[in-house]
Structure 1
Amino acid sequence: MNKQNALATVRKHGPRLLAVIVSIAVVALSGCHKSPHMSISPSAVPNCGAHTQPVSITLQWDATYATDGRVRFWIRDRRADTSTPELWTEQGWKGTMQSGPWMLPGTIISMTDASGEKTLAKVRIGSAPCKQ
């Protein structure tokens, strides 16, 4: 393709080509999380009332752009939204870890900066139907 043909193609399809390029850039950048986030797996555990069994969960987080290196995780009792959170662990700004078998439906996990003063993200373990 010579230079004149290339220019003619750009003139003819320029707006469409620009839209495609912008769309590709948006998709590529949508995976970049600048804000801190965390997720748990499983996101919900069976709630069988008095027979509910505690489970282990996997926690994954990324606070790369929100902290200078360390984050703290706090646990709040599922039965008392007003209870004082208890420090679970302090970790690096990004990672994955497994809890012990003590998570119950409704438990709240908060991620804060190293001082514990700024909440960066929060999740609540969901409740699934009992499988009995």
Structure 2
Amino acid sequence: MSLRTIVVGVDGRERSSRALAFSLGLAERESATLSVCYVRPFVHWSSFALTSMSMFCWDVGAVLRASSDDVAAEVAAEVTDAFRRTGVRGRLHLPSGDVVGELAELARVEQADLVVVGRSRRLGGGRSSAARRLTDGFQRGLLIAS
């Protein structure tokens, strides 16, 4: 089976760095294009409602956005360096929203042959892990790197 396009989900953690490294090696061997995706968390309105009732009056949404921007910058630096070092063709995508929905949509748009994600830290992945949720009704090849 020949791979043309691979999508890898990253979140700045060690396991996603391993998933990225695996995907880079696979893309290099297969001469595939690699689409790296860091999904910025969506800040729900309830975060703002809770802060307005807080006696400290700080904006949880702003803190989450700033943290997300820091992780996105770290991911961008890691991915740029990896593309330069390996010569793999690829793109970095930084959407906001639901991790599973955004990865599935990117895989659909890119017509990905394979999606790679890191395994959750929790044993068994948990019900809410991206890897677990992607397996439910997913129509693409999925590899969960540990």
What is the TM-score with the length of structure 1 in the denominator? 0.22
What is the TM-score with the length of structure 2 in the denominator? 0.21
Q: Which has the higher helix share?
A: 2
Of structures 1 and 2, the larger Rg is shown by 1
